[in-house]
């Protein structure tokens, strides 16, 4: 079996303390209207991009030059930590010196996730968080976690589990009125594969491992879990379970709830786990189900038993270009009904397609000639409209025979919907682009451009209604709030299901001239979220609820359902030691 090429850089590196990603990677100007990405980690790294800035200016209708740069300032002058001497004395007896910190940088970096507008924008522009953690602990083992939880319960300390810090739901934000000592429990030292059962194709893995490290370690043994979220380089197994995550290749391998057979949760009342791991069981209501989407409210997830699969024999990429978004959606729905599903297939709208083109280098020589021929075929022969055309990227995995059969079905069917193939290289580039494009957010933030993502799941017959509704409400909201210029709104179908799809939105606009840009952004995003709910979409597909979507919960859950969740928490955490107050648990105390 040939070694499969990875679509993200396997190297580790120093991470930005607050912003997204690695410190060796950033967007920077290399000319008045040209930028480049430093380093060599991603397909967009190391070359000049002359089209991106003109594209952004044309879309947002605001100037975008180095003169508009906002100074990047992070203030580490934090309030003194809330006293918790009893806890600190006790935990320092149980843990070594490097496992406990109250350093300002550690405290601040563990007090937020990657919610760009409310957390990152505020930090990068010199603002302060309402409340920060008072200390950070780093368990090395499950026994360390038990000691931390026991000490927290005995000393009445608030504990907030921390994984990769990639959430965009405000889940790591400290409740501003929490008077107890708040301690972040950073799980990333618990990053080992404990065992692999090759006969039953299972692996037991500690919850603090990052997705990238897990796949590298499993790959060395010839296995994969197939879980492949956009944040795979940094997010952790425990975070995936606690947010009920979804990956790009869920068609083949399933979402996290399909991949994880059992997980262990340490609570103030003891460990919660099923004693035996079996393919399926019927043993009444299962506590295991409470872990998925728990968002740090019940306890600390320490390990999970997961399905693993032999590395696929073959992996092939593909790309399709459709005349418009409607034909692309019709194709996805028809393909779903054939039963032939690639590991991943995504459909981006026209603006996101054009954004991808703007991230390319200038074409010269043979590449320029090739580009002219392609443009002639698209626009003169096929009569495609540059302002309407959309693209789909495809990843096919499995045996060579499976992949060959998928290619035949997919590309023959696509022709019936007016699509043409854009080639395997464009398919791979489009898939890999996900990992590098995240750095754009922090770049545009320094120009007063606010941007964030939000997602939903939608029935097939509501897709266009939801997308159109969001666009219409966005125009109304921008006019009402006096936003300068125009918005950048893209959406893509990232996963398909028997009954519908996941739609992933990206929204950005200029905050210049606004008294409180972050507040305006979130008011607008909340209005768009209401439209999504009103038109039949879900509150979230995989980001979770955290704190920013709590106000919508009563629209999607009955009072009895919410009360059932809260009563369960009272049973295992009566003193609200796990007091992050995410999701349904926005009360000060549950007792």
Q: How much is the pLDDT for 381?
A: 55
Q: Residue 536 has which token pair? A: 């039949």
HEC per residue, 230-290: CCCCCCEHHHHHHHCCCCCCHHHHCCHHHHEEEEEEEECCEEECCCCCCCCCCCCCCHHHH
What is the pTM assigned to this prediction? 0.95
Separation CA 74–CA 184 (nearest Å): 20
- CATH 3.30.70.3450 in the chain is located at 314-437
Separation CA 531–CA 465 (nearest Å): 10
Task: Judge whether 63 and 448 are in contact, CB under 8 Å.
Answer: no
Q: Residue 222 has which token pair? A: 């010839």
Q: Please give the CATH architecture assigned to the domain spanning 86-113+132-311.
A: 2-Layer Sandwich (3.30)
Instruction: Give pLDDT < 50 ranges for the chain.
Output: 1-2, 369, 373, 376, 589-591
Catalytic: which of 138, 298, 504, 521? 504
Separation CA 261–CA 89 (nearest Å): 38
Closest CA relative to residue 112, chosen from 91, 133, 92, 96:
133
Separation CA 152–CA 154 (nearest Å): 6
- CATH 3.30.300.330 in the chain is located at 439-542
Q: If DSSP codes are grouped into helix, strand and coil, which group holds residue 430?
A: helix
Q: If DSSP codes are grouped into helix, strand and coil, which group holds residue 452?
A: strand
In our burial notation (b when 16+ CB lie closer than 10 A, e otherwise), range 115-131 reads: bbbbbbbbbbbeeebeb
φ/ψ of 317, rounded to 5, equals: -110, 155
Q: How much is the pLDDT for 364?
A: 64
Q: How much is the pLDDT for 1?
A: 44
pLDDT, tens digit (0-9, with 9 covering 90-100), for 304-346: 999 999 999 999 999 999 999 999 999 999 999 999 999 999 9
pLDDT, tens digit (0-9, with 9 covering 90-100), for 440-451: 999 999 999 999
The class that CATH gives domain 314-437 is: alpha beta
Terminal Cα distance for the chain, rounded: 57
Residues contacting 441, CB < 8 A, separation 6+: 20, 116, 120, 451, 452
HEC per residue, 176-227: CCCCCCEEEEECCCCCCEEEEECCCCEEEEECCCEHHHHHHHHHHCCEECCC
| 366: exposed, middle or buried (Cβ count in 10 Å: 0-12, 13-18, 19+) | exposed
Q: How much is the pLDDT for 384?
A: 86
Q: How much is the pLDDT for 272?
A: 95
Q: At what angle do helices 325-338 and 463-481 cross, to 10 degrees?
A: 150
The class that CATH gives domain 439-542 is: alpha beta
Q: How much is the pLDDT for 369?
A: 42
Closest CA relative to residue 295, chosen from 122, 173, 143, 412:
173
Closest CA relative to residue 95, chosen from 84, 105, 87:
87
Q: How much is the pLDDT for 435?
A: 86
Separation CA 470–CA 472 (nearest Å): 6
Closest CA relative to residue 586, chosen from 555, 556, 560, 548:
548
Separation CA 547–CA 168 (nearest Å): 10
Q: How much is the pLDDT for 222?
A: 97
Q: How much is the pLDDT for 8?
A: 80
Find where tokens 């032999």 sit: 310
Q: How much is the pLDDT for 125?
A: 87
Closest CA relative to residue 536, chosen from 462, 428, 440:
462
Task: Judge whether 259 and 306 are in contact, CB under 8 Å.
Answer: yes
Q: How much is the pLDDT for 377?
A: 56
Catalytic residue status for 521: no
* Residue 500 per-residue DSSP state: E
Task: Judge whether 336 and 495 are in contact, CB under 8 Å.
Answer: no
């Amino acid at each position: 079996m040939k070694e499969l090429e990875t679509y993200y850089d396997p190297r580790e590196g120093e991470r930005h303390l607050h912003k997204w990603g690695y410190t060796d990677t950033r967007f920077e100007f290399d000319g008045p209207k040209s930028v480049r990405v430093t380093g060599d980690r991603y397909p967009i790294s190391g070359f000049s991009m002359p089209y991106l800035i003109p594209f952004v200016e044309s879309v947002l209708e605001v100037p975008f030059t180095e003169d508009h740069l906002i100074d990047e300032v992070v203030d580490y002058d934090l309030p003194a930590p809330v006293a918790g001497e009893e806890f600190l004395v006790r935990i320092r007896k149980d843990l070594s010196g490097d496992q406990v910190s109250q350093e300002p940088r550690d405290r601040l970096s563990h007090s937020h996730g990657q919610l760009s507008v409310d957390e990152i924008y505020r930090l990068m522009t010199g603002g302060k968080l309402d409340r920060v953690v008072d200390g950070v602990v780093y368990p090395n083992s499950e026994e360390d976690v038990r000691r931390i939880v026991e000490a927290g319960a005995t000393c009445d300390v608030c504990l907030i589990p921390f994984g990769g810090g990639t959430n965009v739901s405000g889940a790591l934000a400290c409740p501003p009125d929490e008077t107890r000592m708040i301690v972040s429990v950073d799980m990333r030292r618990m990053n080992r594969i404990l065992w692999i059962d090759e006969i039953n194709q299972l692996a037991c893995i500690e919850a603090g491992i990052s997705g990238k490290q897990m796949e590298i370690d499993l790959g060395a043994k010839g296995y994969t879990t197939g879980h492949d979220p956009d944040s795979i380089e940094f997010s952790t197994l425990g975070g995936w379970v606690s947010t009920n995550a979804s990956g790009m290749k869920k068609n083949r391998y399933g979402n996290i709830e399909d991949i994880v057979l059992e997980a262990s949760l340490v609570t103030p009342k003891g460990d919660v786990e099923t004693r035996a791991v079996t393919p399926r069981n019927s043993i009444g209501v299962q506590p295991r189900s409470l872990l998925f989407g728990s968002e740090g409210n019940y306890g600390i997830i320490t390990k999970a038993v997961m399905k693993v699969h032999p590395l696929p024999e073959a992996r092939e990429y593909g790309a399709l270009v459709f005349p418009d978004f409607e034909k692309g959606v019709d194709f996805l729905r028809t393909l779903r009904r054939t039963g032939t599903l690639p590991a991943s297939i995504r459909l981006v709208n026209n603006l996101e397609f054009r954004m991808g083109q703007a991230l390319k280098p200038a074409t010269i020589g043979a590449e320029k000639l090739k580009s002219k021929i392609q443009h002639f075929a698209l626009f003169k022969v096929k009569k495609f409209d540059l302002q309407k055309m959309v693209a789909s990227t495809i990843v096919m995995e499995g045996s060579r025979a499976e992949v060959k059969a998928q290619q035949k079905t997919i590309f023959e069917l696509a022709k019936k919907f007016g699509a043409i193939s854009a080639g395997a290289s464009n398919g791979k580039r489009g898939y890999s682009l996900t990992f590098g494009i995240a750095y754009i957010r922090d770049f545009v933030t320094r120009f007063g451009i606010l941007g964030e993502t939000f997602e939903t799941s939608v029935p097939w017959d509501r897709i266009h209604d939801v997308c159109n509704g969001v666009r219409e409400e966005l125009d109304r909201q921008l006019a009402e709030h006096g936003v300068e210029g125009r918005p950048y709104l893209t959406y893509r179908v990232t996963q398909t299901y028997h009954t519908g799809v996941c739609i992933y939105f990206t929204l950005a606009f200029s905050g210049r001239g606004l008294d409180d840009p972050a507040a305006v952004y979130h008011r607008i995003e909340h209005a768009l979220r209401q439209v999504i709910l009103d038109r039949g979409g879900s509150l979230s597909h995989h980001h979770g609820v955290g704190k920013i979507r709590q106000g919508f919960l009563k629209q999607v859950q009955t009072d009895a359902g919410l009360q059932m969740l809260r009563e369960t928490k009272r049973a295992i955490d009566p003193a609200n030691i796990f007091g992050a107050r995410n999701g349904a648990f926005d009360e000060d105390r549950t007792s």
